[in-house]
Amino acid sequence: MRRFLAFLLLSVLPSVGLSAAGGTAPLVKMEVERLPDLNIPRSAHVMALGPGGEPVVFGGHTTGFVPTQTAEYFADGAWHVLDMLYPHDWGFILQLRSGGIALGGGAGEAFGVGRSWGVECYDPVSRTFSSLPILDCRRSKASAVELEDGSIVVSGNWYADDAIGICPPGGTFEPAGEVSVGREVPYILPTGPLDAMIFGSLGNREEETSLTVDRLRGGPLEVPLLAEWRPVPMAESQFDVSSCAIGDAAAGDYSYLLLGRREDGRFALILMRGEAFSLLPLAADIPTEGPEAPLIYYGPVMVDRASRQAWVTGCEEPPTGRVFLLRIGYGEALDGGEAPVTLFCSDPLREKYVSASWALLPDGTLLATGGMPRDNYNPFSSVYRFLPEGGEPWQPARKSRQWLLGLLCGMLTAGLAVFAGYRLRRRRSFAHAQDDTLRHSDADPIVILSEAKNLPGEPPALMSRITAMMEERQLFLQPGLSLHDVAQALGTNVRYISDCINSSTGASFSDYVNGYRVRHAQALMKDRPGMPLSVVATESGFSSESTFFRNFKALTGKTPLQWLSEFSRPV
């Protein structure tokens, strides 16, 4: 109901953006330009800009979850393939002061398995690769930074021990110290000419970890602010972490912006100056809801130092194909004011990104290359350029019609109250029946929904087609399945599908689909009790293991392990 209200308000009340306690963050539609596709579909790759803003993508894995030892640069309206020395699937990228681009580590085999030693440098002028000293240990999902003396510091690893490594100019990578906790794709941010801080939210086995901050030179620190606002992890496609720098290191200003997330789901921008952390004053709260689903954002922040603006990429969860770009004018906050916040939104794209590789172009637009859905086996080759300033606010309000706006608000509120009461009665009835049955091992949410759809006065024909598609084609197994997908498959529109499911079952589209997914998961756990729950989640169409656990417990009243234990208990 909350998402329906948000969507309706966006459609009817033009001047109302996504609500924020500190003000209203405008939601602005942005234009999208489709560019020529990459020659090789890829994900977990990295991207940098060469001379004149020439985009270059490196490595990653391609179709079949197989590493690709290639790069591509964009020139003369097309992408051109280059051979690399190593594949760097989930490897790090680092823009060097020399103008070269360092690339290192990554998965050692197909399917993201293992780690690798190799490091190489790309010369964007000659478009050639040369080898650099190998890492201090095999690494995947690591980060790196260059200090002012030319030393390269590296840390982070995936499903393996982590430590700090350093390569001085002309030397080789050597161990430089232990870390207080192993991390995946940590932030490594210089705090002085020869010092840096290392921290992150994800451990090297993808678990939430301690926010202890390690220092290259000095003992670890505890930062109370980071305990409350955890830095948002980077996306599957890694970035040069220095992209979040807002200060001039040459002038001794080591300042950065990080996206933080609190336990209650709110987001904020963390300002890091040397070893001091604070929150950047914002003129509006960062939106947490999109038109169809909650918003998730990916780190790190991409900074445009010339315009003093910061950008964060995001999408709806589950992905709907819409791309969101959050713009924060941090310069105004540094000058003593509050940073304006604007959220830009695209129309739904064909690709439902979990991640793409992003770059901020010199003209202020943003480029997304490749990326993947949920499964890692079918990455995209698509390339999009997003033009935030080319869009117009959705349905701008006119001052001369404020009386009409007030009337519409009153009518809308009254109508929604009636609708909400009807929905609540239907939902309680549906939920009661579902709770009574799904709590038992033989409960079938599909049967429940099939019986519910035949209520008097409902459109049985369309509901029958939706049910048939779910049962016969098992469309619910498609990760990120959206209303748009179902509407397109049935040759109708999103509103008809949504209204039909709502009125026929009393459930939202998401609850309806997740009912099928939970039943499928129950069948898998019965037939293959040894299957890891992460695999059960993926095989049942859930976008993540946490989403699987949340929906399973909501529909059955038990965690998957509790349910399986009761099912397996001797009678």
- Residue 115, both tokens: 């780690």
Residue 217 inside a domain? The answer is no
What's the mean pLDDT in 552-564? 86
Residue 191 inside a domain? The answer is no
Annotate 445-458 with DSSP letters as a single string. HHHHHHHHTT-TTS
Spatial separation of the C-alpha atoms in residues 46 and 59, rounded to whole Å: 7
- Return left, alpha or beta for 234; rule: phi > 0 is left, psi -120 to 50 is alpha, else beta: beta
Does the pLDDT at position 524 exceed 70?
Answer: yes
User: Is 0.75 surpassed by the pTM of this model?
Assistant: no
- Helices then strands, counting H and E runs in the chain, come out as 12, 30
Instruction: Give the tens place of pLDDT for each residue, 322-333.
Output: 999 999 999 999
Are 313 and 325 within 8 A, CB to CB? yes
Count of the separate structural domains present in the chain: 1
How is residue 534 annotated by DSSP? H
Are 183 and 156 within 8 A, CB to CB? yes
Task: Read off the pLDDT band of 468 (50, 70, 90).
Answer: confident
Spatial separation of the C-alpha atoms in residues 289 and 65, rounded to whole Å: 32
Residue 482 inside a domain? The answer is yes
| Residue 253 burial (CB count, 10 A) | 12
Instruction: Give the tens place of pLDDT for each residue, 79-128.
Output: 999 999 999 999 999 999 999 999 999 999 999 999 999 999 999 999 99
What's the mean pLDDT in 47-60? 94
Beta bridge partners of 268: 260
In CATH, what number is assigned to the domain containing residue 517?
1.10.10.60
Q: Is 544 exposed, middle or buried (0-12, 13-18, 19+ CB in 10 A)?
A: middle
Spatial separation of the C-alpha atoms in residues 547 and 559, rounded to whole Å: 12
Provide φ and ψ at 93, rounded to 5°: -130, 145
Spatial separation of the C-alpha atoms in residues 512 and 501, rounded to whole Å: 8
Could you tell me which of 453, 425, 449, 454 has the C-alpha nearest to residue 437? 449
| Residue 194 burial (CB count, 10 A) | 13
Residue 272 inside a domain? The answer is no
E-strand ranges in 223-340 read 230-231, 255-261, 267-273, 276-279, 295-304, 309-316, 323-328
Does the pLDDT at position 538 exceed 80?
Answer: yes
Does the pLDDT at position 564 exceed 60?
Answer: yes
What's the mean pLDDT in 332-359? 92
How is residue 503 annotated by DSSP? H
What's the mean pLDDT in 264-285? 95
Residue 145 inside a domain? The answer is no
Task: Read off the pLDDT band of 413 (50, 70, 90).
Answer: very low
Cα dihedral across residues 544, 546, 551, 552: positive or negative: positive
Q: Domain range spanning residue 422?
A: 401-568
Identify the three-state secondary structure at position 416. Answer: helix
Does the pLDDT at position 253 exceed 50?
Answer: yes
Residue 22 inside a domain? The answer is no
Instruction: Give the tens place of pLDDT for each residue, 160-217.
Output: 999 999 999 999 999 999 999 999 999 999 999 999 999 999 998 888 888 999 999 9
Could you tell me which of 177, 114, 168 has the C-alpha nearest to residue 141? 114
What's the mean pLDDT in 432-450? 39
Does the pLDDT at position 418 exceed 70?
Answer: no
Quick one: pLDDT at residue 569?
57
Spatial separation of the C-alpha atoms in residues 302 and 461, rounded to whole Å: 49
Annotate 101-131 with DSSP letters as a single string. EEEE---SSGGG-S-B--EEEEETTTTEEEE
Residue 428 inside a domain? The answer is yes
Quick one: pLDDT at residue 399?
32
Does the pLDDT at position 507 exceed 70?
Answer: yes
Residue 453 inside a domain? The answer is yes
Does the pLDDT at position 476 exceed 70?
Answer: yes
Spatial separation of the C-alpha atoms in residues 7 and 29, rounded to whole Å: 14
Of 524 and 427, the one with more pLDDT: 524
